[in-house]
Structure 1
Amino acid sequence: MASALLTQHALATNPSFQARVRMAFSHVAKEICAEDPTTPGHDLRYALARIALNPSDLTASGYAPVIATDTEVAAAAQSVPEGGASDAAQEAVGDELILAAVRKVWNSACGWVPGSNGQAEGP
């Protein structure tokens, strides 16, 4: 079995996986834009959504490294005999798994901590 860290790295640098993560961020960003503005953390969540919907470079790895380190995503990639170094590994990670990972990381990616006032912290 391949090293977990090498599997995650290979997954994060796989162009197909990167594209799927970018699209998952776009889908979740649309969900965030439609949420109730009184949702805790909405200001920061919405700010990240706007960035995700207006990427400056569709070829950059973006958040693929973060999503590749998600426990369930990494486990799915490592479940194939070749480990994360193959297209089969990124294909083993279903779209719903990527979307779930994006939803799980959204708050930390935007800088909101549950229980805070939803505003950005100082410098």
Structure 2
Amino acid sequence: TSTVNGILAQRLVRRLEPTHAERYEALPEVIEQFGLRRFQPEGTIYLHRPKPSALTPTGYLGRTTILEFLVMNDALRRLVMQHAGTNEIEAAARAAGMRTMYEDGLAKAVLGVTTIEEVLRVTQEG
């Protein structure tokens, strides 16, 4: 553990083709269900849906990553050395600011990079 500085996990999600993606206002129940206010505390939250075009029959163009990056700190090193359970290690990582792959994907959906459906498909969350 003294040589491990961090652990990175990633998955690829389809990227919306930005010039044709259809923007819509997120429903309050969707904002609540996915906790989208943590990514945009103020104002109207817009999401995007793929819109097929001659260039992109699916409405997607390329891929982008969603990431989960755990930066090792002294508290996490101690837990690993004590053979702590995954729940305890995850709680300490979250307390240190780690964002899950699912959360990174939701943040990218709020930014219009991908869709919530794509994040759910890849992370199998929800």
- TM-score relative to the length of structure 2: 0.29
Q: Which has the higher helix share?
A: 1
Q: Which has the higher strand share?
A: 2
- TM-score relative to the length of structure 1: 0.29
